[in-house]
Chains A and B, each alone.
Chain A
Amino acid sequence: MLEVRELAVSYGAVNALDGVSFSAAPSSITAVLGANGAGKTTLLRAMTGLVHPRAGAVHYDGDDLTALGVEDVVRRGVAHVPAGRGVIDQLTVEENLRLGSLWRRDRVDGRKAMAETYELFPILAERRRKLGATLSGGERQMLAIGRALMSRPRVLLLDEPSLGLAPRVTVELMAVLVDLTPLAALTVILVEQNARSALSIAQRAVVINLGRVVMADTAAAVGADAGLRHHYLGF
């Protein structure tokens, strides 16, 4: 169980997160929704240690992740795919993937994970020698997620994976997530502006506005709340 408790982050005088709490279970997708600037990206960054929270904790497997450095959070099985920046342009596709499994120091399993990733995203196998910079938006997102999966994570934090993607590609990507989540017993936290598509695959949803949780419930309940949809989700 992943538990975010009263997490608060400030940038100077601005409270980006103001006491956010929710929990997420293995083999489930939790959508984190809200308008631009609601604090969704900050939430993920605080969970992996990229920003230091002012207060609160992220409990996972008996650890408080906020007390660890990024590299150690990663070693606890948490993989974070940042929005639009999950690929290193100057490295090839294969190098980007290899990087994801290096810390595990298990070369045999690293190769196996690589083969599985290529099976999941065959286009990446075709592009394996190409530089990250030459990929299309959809390929980049697949590579970013592939890189994250290379470390065999138990928690997957995805920041706006549908950003800039064609609807068809978004659907493909979401389908992969739906298949993968129970298979790898992943705890997926899916940050999305595209609330409709996120709700369609998530079991639970957390709606954030101005750094506070407005509602945390099943995805169906959140999707059914017309007022909430109108005010915060824009559909």
Chain B
Amino acid sequence: MSHFFDLTLNGISAGMIYAAVALGLVLIWRATRVINFAQGSMAMFTTYLAVTLLDRQVGYWEAFVVALLAGLAFGAVVERVFIRPLRGKPEINAVIVTLGLLILLEGLAGAIYGVRNRGFPAAFSQSGLSIGGRRVSFSHFDVFILVAVVALMLSMVVLFRATDLGLRMRASAFAPEMARLAGVRVGRILTLGWAVASFAGSLAGLLVAPTAAFSPDYMDLILVYAFTAAVVGGLDSPAGSLIGGLLTGLALSYVGGYLGSSLEPLGAAAILIVVLGSRPEGLFARPTPRQV
């Protein structure tokens, strides 16, 4: 039973990471119908930026914030430079470009920083908390992960539901032509969407780096799990990415704990097959009612 409890806690922590990356995927998907395969490697790059700053004796939180802001800027630049010129062309073109970007960024990171695993410090203690005299596999750092991702999700809810900017972003995502006719500068909003998505990814990258084998490809598997989470939650639903992340995190944690960690990727594949077969729109995306 306590094993189950520990696996649940691990699943929650991992699920938060998947949720943050999934949020980035969802934001871009619903605005542009593009799956950003470079989401993970962009986060990897900004996390390397953080570690470079840490090596130069910059404080942890300064480096953390710089990496997040770099993520924001990186997303905007990628949209402007690589994605914008492909607008009006089939979405698959942009998807291929993000795949190319993934390879490019990982290659660059390997060339600049080397491909070996290197450590990344955690903001808080990574030893398990003590609950009722028993040590559980949930650390101060896991609490931080939980708080950070929930804060990210809540700020997204506020952004989308309570601000004019969020209204512009939703309008641009749902009906770009109508949004333009209402005076929304949809191009700028798309750039901003990529920036926010990349910000979410960067946060995930920083949060997972201390526990992952931090190397240029450390986000690859996480991107796969995050994609699973996004599909589970519904690719059109930012709120679904949180639930999808949690469910995916838990499921993979149980698979890893009971069946062996080498089976986790297969577990993700199984989840994808089941969800796509039974409820392809995901658990939380509402299929849009059709006008008759």
Which residues in window 92-125 of A have CB below 8 A to B? Answer: 95, 98-100, 102-104
* B179: A residues at CB distance < 8 A: 88, 99
Tell whether A35 is near chain B: CB-to-CB under 8 Å.
no
Q: What mask results when residues 56 to 87 of chain A are scored 1 for a CB within 8 Å of chain B, else 0?
A: 00000000000000110011000110101111
B164 at the interface (CB under 8 A from A): yes
Collect the chain B residues with CB atoms within 8 Å of residue A102's CB.
164, 167-168, 182-184
Most buried by B among A82, A90, A103: A90
Chain A interface size range: 20 to 34
Find chain A residues with CB under 8 A from B289 CB: 89, 133-134
B182 A151 Cβ-Cβ under 8 A: yes
A75 CB contacts on chain B under 8 angstroms: 183
Please name the residue on chain B nearest to A164 by beta carbon: B291
Determine the chain B residues whose CB is within 8 A of the CB of A134 once the complex forms.
Answer: 289
Contact in complex: B182, A89 (CB < 8 Å): no
Q: SS class of chain B's interface: helix, strand, loop or mixed?
A: helix
Residue of A nearest to B236 (CB): A90
- Asked whether A89 lies within 8 Å of B288 as measured between CB atoms, the reply is yes
Q: How far is the CA of A147 from the CA of B170 in the complex (A)?
A: 16
Q: Give the complex CA separation of A80 and B177 in angstroms.
A: 11
A88 touching B175, Cβ below 8 Å: yes
In the complex, the chain B residue whose C-beta lies closest to that of A87 is B178
Asked if B181 is at the interface of the complex by the 8 Å CB criterion, the answer is yes
Complex Cα distance, B184 from A147, in Å, reads 13
Cβ of A214 within 8 Å of any chain B Cβ, yes or no, is no
* Chain A CB within 10 Å, residue with most, of B167, B168, B186: B167
B181 engages A70 (CB within 8 Å): yes
A99/B182 in contact, CB under 8 A: yes
For B186, list chain A residues within 8 Å (CB): 71
> A48: CB under 8 A from chain B?
yes
A175: Cβ under 8 A from any B Cβ: no
The answer on a CB contact under 8 Å between B182 and A85 is no
- The answer on a CB contact under 8 Å between B174 and A74 is no
In the bound complex, residues from chain B placing their C-beta under 8 Å from that of A82 are 177-178, 181
Among B179, B180, B183, B186, chain A packs the most CB atoms within 10 A around the CB of B183
The smallest beta-carbon distance between A141 and chain B, in angstroms, is 12
Task: Give the residues in chain A near B178, CB-CB below 8 Å.
Answer: 82, 85-88
Residues on A with beta carbons closer than 8 Å to the beta carbon of B177? 50, 82, 85
CA distance A70 to B181 in the complex (A): 7
**Nearest CB on B from A6, distance (A):** 25
Interface residues of B in 243-273 (CB under 8 A from A): none
Which B residues touch A100, using CB under 8 A? 182-183
B200 CB contacts on chain A under 8 angstroms: none
Please name all residues of chain A whose beta carbon is closer than 8 Å to the beta carbon of B182 when the two chains form the complex: 74, 99-100, 102-103, 147, 151
Which among B174, B177, B179, B291 has the greatest number of chain A C-beta atoms within 10 A? B291
Closest CB of chain A to B66's CB: distance in Å? 32
A89 to B164, CA, bound (A): 18
Q: Nearest-CB distance from B279 to chain A (Å)?
A: 19
B171 at the interface (CB under 8 A from A): yes
Residues from chain A with a CB closer than 8 A to the CB of B3 are: none
1/0 per position for B59-93, CB-CB distance to A under 8 A? 00000000000000000000000000000000000
Does A91 make an interface contact (CB < 8 A)? yes
User: Are A80 and B181 in contact, with the CB atoms below 8 A?
Assistant: yes
> Which of A74, A87, A89, A91 is the one whose CB lies under 8 Å from B183?
A74
Q: Residues of A contacting B171 with CB < 8 Å? A: 88, 91, 95, 99
New contact pairs (11) apart from A133-B288, A147-B182, CB-CB < 8 Å: A50-B181, A71-B185, A85-B178, A88-B171, A89-B289, A90-B170, A95-B171, A98-B167, A102-B182, A104-B183, A134-B289
What are 10 A-B pairs with beta-carbon distances under 8 A? Answer: A74-B180, A80-B181, A90-B170, A95-B170, A95-B171, A98-B164, A102-B182, A103-B183, A104-B183, A151-B182
| A interface residues with partner B (beta carbon < 8 Å) | 48, 50, 70-71, 74-75, 79-80, 82, 84-91, 95, 98-100, 102-104, 133-134, 147, 151
Interface residues, chain B, with chain A CB atoms under 8 Å away? 164, 167-168, 170-171, 174-175, 177-186, 288-289, 291
